[in-house]
Amino acid sequence: MSYLILAINPGSTSTKIGLFRDYEPVFMKNIEHDRAELEKFPDLPSQKGFRLGFVMDALAEHGIKAADLSGVVGRGGLMPVLETGGYVVNDVMKAWISAEKGGSHASNLGSLMADLVANEAGCSAFIYDSVAAGRLPEIAAITGFPEIRRKSLSHVLNSRAQSIIYAEKIGKSFEELNIIIAHLGGGISLSVYEKGILKDSVGDDNGPFSPERAGAAPLMDFLNTFFDKLPKQDIKKKIRGGGGLMAHLGTTDFRQIEADAEGGCEKTANLMSAMAYNIAKSIGSLATAVSGRVDAIIITGGLANARSWAAEIAARVEFIAPVEIMPGEYELEALAAGCLRIIKGEEQVRLLTGITDDGFGISEIIADEV
């Protein structure tokens, strides 16, 4: 028996989808959305119906009906802190995401869109390796504010998938290596894994700026510049969506930005070098989480296709460990593979049953409901 899996990976201005028969792709498509159209919606969750129309059109173009699907899996967004692996989409999860309690992020739409398709298909909806998957060690969670504890928010899905691919390439297992991995896309995150276990991470609000996110900034300057001067929603947009290169240059088109820098635009070239510098600095900081015992540094994500720029990052950190540049992402493949393993009973799946006041998920393993 074969299974037909739909994987949905929403981005800031795109929705990537992949239809898989077992592990083999039937088709994959990157649906580009007009930024002006998206900006008409008051928040990200309200975009789900608009984006879903394009997804269903793409399925119809390939002669696929919702009823043909065996399972639907969406990118896990800014969930409460979860375990790595798969979760069934349920009302507890949808309420958290719809209220954007963990923050505003395009990947939040993954669970909501998967749920809508699954309801029509009569099958289960899942998320896999959410952005918030992985619990930080206590020493990494403590901050100077007793009211605030650090939580890991990173591109877990692609980072783990690429790390596993790299380990196989050198004849090792992921669980044998200490790896720092930088995912470079519209948002940038970095993480360090010690023998397969997440030890620490740098998220998009406390690390490098990116094409559309502001990254870290001095707290007092931030307060003095924006506090009591802008509504909370406008400040949040400056942090995610309107920050980074977008704030400096008015665009997130990295291919054009790269071309402008190579064409002699000094401002653009300086910004790209500053972004590379900040990424390298974060890689260096994560090396301390494993006392400098790093087996490999991986640079991945869509921006890693800019080879000369990625090499600029590598040149600053290759003293720490060998650097492997692995452009692109395998998020759709990783989503579909996780969903397939769950449906076939090869991997356990969890159900989110509650959320603590400080944002940690309470879950139980289920077996027969999927």
Q: Compute the average pLDDT of residues 92-108.
A: 92
Tokens coding 344: 């076939």
This prediction has a pTM of 0.83
Residue 295: per-residue pLDDT? 98
Residue in the block written with tokens 């720490």: 320
Contact 74, 116 (CB under 8 A): no
Provide φ and ψ at 220, rounded to 5°. Answer: -65, -40
Integer Cα distance of 65 and 76 in angstroms: 24
Tokens coding 298: 């991986």
For 221-279, write each residue's pLDDT tens digit. Answer: 999 999 999 999 899 999 988 999 999 999 999 999 999 999 999 999 999 999 999 99
Q: Compute the average pLDDT of residues 286-291.
A: 98
pLDDT tops 90 at residue 358: no
Question: How much of the chain exceeds pLDDT 70, in percent?
Answer: 99
Which segments of the chain belong to CATH 3.30.420.40? 4-133+331-366, 140-327
pLDDT tops 60 at residue 200: yes
Computed on alpha carbons and rounded to an integer, the radius of gyration of the chain in Å comes to 20
Alpha carbons within 13 A on the beta-carbon side of 168: 6
Residue 97: per-residue pLDDT? 95
Report domain 4-133+331-366's class. Answer: alpha beta
Side chain identity at 197, as an amino acid letter?
Answer: I
b/e map 253-274, b = 16+ CB within 10 Å: ebeebbebbeeeeeebbebbee
pLDDT tops 80 at residue 368: no
Contact 198, 136 (CB under 8 A): yes
CATH architecture of the domain with residue range 140-327: 2-Layer Sandwich (3.30)
